[in-house]
Structure 1
């Protein structure tokens, strides 16, 4: 495993995306434990893309316009749904007096769907992993699986870190209704913009 792979993976994982935004929102709205669950769900959502890349299924998304568009617009629809869900006062970012705990299953399911319904991730891993593997050598599949597991571990660690930061700031944020309202709109707007970006993205 090369230092180039580790550094590149770290930069990719640190870049704010749907998973980071979701984990931050859960951390602020539900606390530290829930943010760890959210990070775990988002990490699990990477698994199908990694498997697809290793077995070559992501090539279908690359070559089939119909398959790509179907997955993409399912992803767009889910991002819009997440924007609407967070914008509601009964969503993930609730005022303390209205606080209801989201179940771990619901948090994990949302995190998984956010990443599963992003076809760009499959194409990313299809282009990313082979750069650090001699695909013609024996055992290359095992090596790619190893790299993928390292990438997932880094994703989980970084997302837990993001969630912890959000959870630490929670007490200072939830006591200020105006700040909570602004954050709710900001997170909803971020998901809406990510949905728009995915809708307008080129294959």
Structure 2
């Protein structure tokens, strides 16, 4: 395993995106435990893309415009739905002094769906993993599984840091209703922006 792989993975994982927003929202709304649960859900959401890349299914998404567009627009719709529910303060990730109305399962499901419905992740893994597998590797699949495991561990660890930081600030945020309102708007705008970015991207 190369230092280049670790550094590249670190940059990718630490970059703000849907998973970071979900983990921050869970930490702010329900505290540290919920942040860990959300980080776990986001990490699980990587598994289908990892398997798709290793088995070659990502190549189908890349080659088939219809398959790619179907997954892409489903992802866009889900992100916009999350933006709307967050704005209304009715979603599982709502920032509220009363805590989110749904349980851990809903948080995990939201996190998995957010990652699952992004075809860019499959194509990313399809292009990313092979770069760190030597041409003479006798067991490339095993190597890619190992690299994916490291990537997932980094994802879980870094997202936990994001979430625990948010949970630490939770009490201060909850004491200020105006801050809560702006936080909801900010999260809603961020989800909408991610949906718009996915809509504007091409294969």
TM-score by length of 1: 0.96
Give yes or no for the alignment of 1:129 onto 2:129.
Answer: yes
Match of 1:189 in 2: 189
CA distance 1:54–1:183, shift in 2 (3 Å): same
- Once residues 135 and 168 of structure 2 are traced to their aligned partners in structure 1, the CA distance between those partners, rounded to angstroms, is 44
Asked if the contact 1:95/1:177 (under 8 Å) is kept, the reply is no
Q: Deviations over 1:137-194 (max 9, x none)?
A: 3111100000000000000000000000000000000110000000000000000010
Match of 2:162 in 1: 162
Give yes or no for the alignment of 1:87 onto 2:67.
Answer: no
CA RMSD of aligned residues (A): 1.1
Q: Deviations over 1:31-61 (max 9, x none)?
A: 1100110010010000000000001000001
Match of 2:64 in 1: 64
- Once residues 94 and 34 of structure 1 are traced to their aligned partners in structure 2, the CA distance between those partners, rounded to angstroms, is 12
Asked if the contact 2:25/2:95 (under 8 Å) is kept, the reply is no
Which residues of 2 match residues 22-101 of structure 1 at below 5 A? 22-91=22-91, 92-96=93-97, 98-101=98-101
Gaps of 5+ in 2: none
Match of 1:17 in 2: 17
- Once residues 135 and 35 of structure 1 are traced to their aligned partners in structure 2, the CA distance between those partners, rounded to angstroms, is 40
C-alpha displacement of 1:100: 4.5
| Structure 1 runs of 4+ with >4 Å offset | none
C-alpha displacement of 1:90: 3.1
Asked if the contact 2:28/2:95 (under 8 Å) is kept, the reply is no
- Once residues 17 and 100 of structure 1 are traced to their aligned partners in structure 2, the CA distance between those partners, rounded to angstroms, is 21
Secondary structure of 1:142's aligned partner: helix
- Once residues 135 and 56 of structure 1 are traced to their aligned partners in structure 2, the CA distance between those partners, rounded to angstroms, is 17
TM-score by length of 2: 0.96
- Once residues 80 and 89 of structure 1 are traced to their aligned partners in structure 2, the CA distance between those partners, rounded to angstroms, is 14
Pairs aligned (count): 202
Q: Deviations over 1:49-83 (max 9, x none)?
A: 00000010000011000000000000001001110
